[in-house]
Amino acid sequence: MAERAATYLGDDITAALAVDSTPPSSKLSPGDWAKTNLFSSAANTIVTAIVAVAAGLLAFFALRWIINADFAIIRANLRIFMIGQFPREELWRPWASGYVMILGAGLTAGAMARNSHELALSQELESVKEGWGQLLRRFWPIIAASIFFVSFARTVMPYIGLAAAYVLVVVAREVGWRLPAAIRERALFIGVALFIVAMLVIAGTSRLGGYALGLVAFLWALSELSRVESLPTGFAGTAVRFVVALVVAAIVAIVQNLIPHDGFGWEDWGGLHISLFTTVIGITLGMPFGILLALGRKSNLPVLKTASVIFIEFIRGVPLISLLLFSNLMLPLFLPIDFERPADLTLAIIVVTGFSAAYIAEIVRGGLQAVPKGQTEAAQASGMSAAAVQRFIVLPQALRAVIPAMVGQFIALFKDTSLLSIIGLLEFLRVSDTSNAQQEFVGKGLASVTYLFVAIGYWAFAYTMSKESRRLEAKLGVGHR
């Protein structure tokens, strides 16, 4: 240091630059580390002592409690915690569905990682394939939690199942990475289609499943046709594309409906499964509505603007619990009188979708405001229609900017699904209450054990997502504009 300072003080700048400018090593000896971080002053030493004693006591009592706690209640109810009251002979369904979902997630993740890798290379940026160590660091809470959950199993099957799942995810990601470019470009459709197939496996085929698959087929066909350059431009081309896509969708839906409808349905789902399911569905369905509401709120047409503002502000001004009470007690009253009352979960999902749409609308509005006005003006100047300006110029930039906030909304909604317990759905948190009401465990004061188990389950997912959100924020550079 001294010689560097001396060089700086001299006139010779080249000499100063020539001096090795690597910062001094930050490695401290344990003694020095403790001195700077724990005992830097008298006050600090006292604080360290007090806090260390308090934390030590807390850790001691927590550890003693955990060692002495009776985890039999979780062993007996593990299946209900995970998937609710699923019939025993149908248990292959959640496992198979989980594998299909993991396959889809692995393929999509691998393919998309390869896509952005290739893109970076084509722009001559540095990019290396993410190693397994990095993935482990990103997803350790979920991995640890899954092992923690399985450790309560009473048979060997769940252990084998979980190991198989991890093998599958590794293989699927590698396969996704190696897929030919033509398939990789369509990775998102593969992922969504496999997700719906997974839902059909667990719920059994149904007319609703047919519609969902048809919708994916429709969007996929549209995106395929938009690449065909021989089609005429203008209205005729659009019409041809829509008709062909509709025909494809109809074929898919009809084929799905040819499979005999059987299965468990979703009325009696439960456990962690519906917490995750409701979150995914709420965000996916809420997204298009949210984007429309955000555009409505930004528009200068008073009817659309007023309607959007009233909807958004009303939903955001009341607690979710009042909306869930509404779904349970009032929503069925709005159906035509000869309609049967839908399942509680269906009603709840309708309300959760509206709820997340209002919050997503506000997030998207923030993204829309972040797009510079010059973008819109340039697009208008080049003669694009109002819809095209939004579709091709504004929304892609706005949605990219709000990805981290959207992950944050996903976390918030996942935590909010715990409220489904209050309207009587057997979701993750409520299993804790029902298992404490079982004959062998009632009155034993085991609520704290089950609540801790539930808290760890929620934490693992939410913490992983919040880490991902921070990573995306850094990667997209959203916070630095």
Partner 1 sequence: MIKFLLLLLAVAAIGTAIYVVGRLIYDIVAMFRNRAATSEGDKAVLWRDVKAIGIAAQIVALAAIVGVGNFLWGNFRDRTDAIGLELGFDFLDQPGGITIADNPLIAGDSVGKAIVEGFFNTIRIIMVGIPAALILGTLIGIARFSSNWIVRKLATGYVEFFRNIPPLVVIVFVWSAVFLNAFPTSQEAWKPLGEWFILSNNRFAIPSLMGQDNFGPFRWILLGALILAAAVAFWRTKVFDNTGAPHHRVLWGLGTFFGIGLIAYLVLGGPVSMSKPMLDDRGRVFSDGFRIQMPFAAITVALIIYTATHISEIVRGSIMAVHKGQEEAANALALSTFQRYRFVVLPQAMRVAFPPLISQFLNFSKNSSLAIAIGAAETTNIINNLFGQSQPAPQLILILALLYLTLSLVLSAIGNLINRRLQIVGR
β-pair partners for 427: 271
The first and second tokens of residue 157, run together, are 């099957």
Interface with partner 1 (CB under 8 A), residue from 221, 272, 419, 431: 419
Interface with partner 1 (CB under 8 A), residue from 87, 131, 155, 334: 334
Is 30 near partner 1 (CB under 8 A)? no
Candidates 105-113, 158-166, 310-318, 371-379; binding stretch for partner 1 (CB under 8 A): 310-318
Q: Residues near 103 by Cβ (< 8 Å), separated by ≥ 6? A: 168, 172, 194
Considering beta carbons, is residue 155 or 322 the nearer one to partner 1? Answer: 322
Task: Give residue 271's region: left, alpha or beta (phi > 0; psi -120 to 50).
Answer: left
Candidates 127-135, 196-204, 329-337, 399-407; binding stretch for partner 1 (CB under 8 A): 329-337
C-alpha R_g of the chain: 27
Is 235 near partner 1 (CB under 8 A)? no
Is residue 332 within 8 A of residue 342, CB to CB? The reply is yes
State the minimum distance, in angstroms, from the CB of residue 130 to partner 1.
Answer: 23
* Cβ count within 10 A of residue 259: 13
Is 469 near partner 1 (CB under 8 A)? no
Task: Report the C-alpha gap between 446 and 454 in whole angstroms.
Answer: 13
Interface with partner 1 (CB under 8 A), residue from 115, 257, 375, 418: 418
Is 422 near partner 1 (CB under 8 A)? yes
Is 10 near partner 1 (CB under 8 A)? no
DSSP 3-state percent helix, strand, coil across the chain (nearest 5): 80, 0, 20
Is 458 near partner 1 (CB under 8 A)? yes
Is 48 near partner 1 (CB under 8 A)? yes
Is residue 335 within 8 A of residue 265, CB to CB? The reply is no
Q: Give the three-class secondary structure for 303.
A: helix
Is 424 near partner 1 (CB under 8 A)? no
Is 317 near partner 1 (CB under 8 A)? yes
**Hey, which residues between 428 and 457 contact partner 1 (CB under 8 A)?**
429, 432, 445, 447-448, 451-452, 454-455
Q: Give the three-class secondary structure for 123.
A: coil
Considering beta carbons, is residue 121 or 310 the nearer one to partner 1? Answer: 310
DSSP state letter for 432: H
Q: Mutual orientation of helices 132-150 and 447-476 as an angle, nearest 10°?
A: 170
Candidates 76-84, 185-193, 232-240, 326-334; binding stretch for partner 1 (CB under 8 A): 326-334
Is residue 203 within 8 A of residue 262, CB to CB? The reply is no
Is 466 near partner 1 (CB under 8 A)? yes
Considering beta carbons, is residue 25 or 322 the nearer one to partner 1? Answer: 322
Is 167 near partner 1 (CB under 8 A)? no
CA distances from 224 to 115, 193, 227 (A): 18, 15, 6
Q: Residues near 459 by Cβ (< 8 Å), separated by ≥ 6? A: 141, 145
Is 346 near partner 1 (CB under 8 A)? no
Is 369 near partner 1 (CB under 8 A)? no
DSSP state letter for 427: B
Binding site for partner 1 (CB under 8 A): 36-38, 40, 44, 47-48, 51-52, 55, 301-304, 306-307, 310, 314, 316-322, 325-326, 329-330, 332-337, 386, 411, 415-419, 421-422, 429, 432, 445, 447-448, 451-452, 454-455, 458-459, 462-463, 466
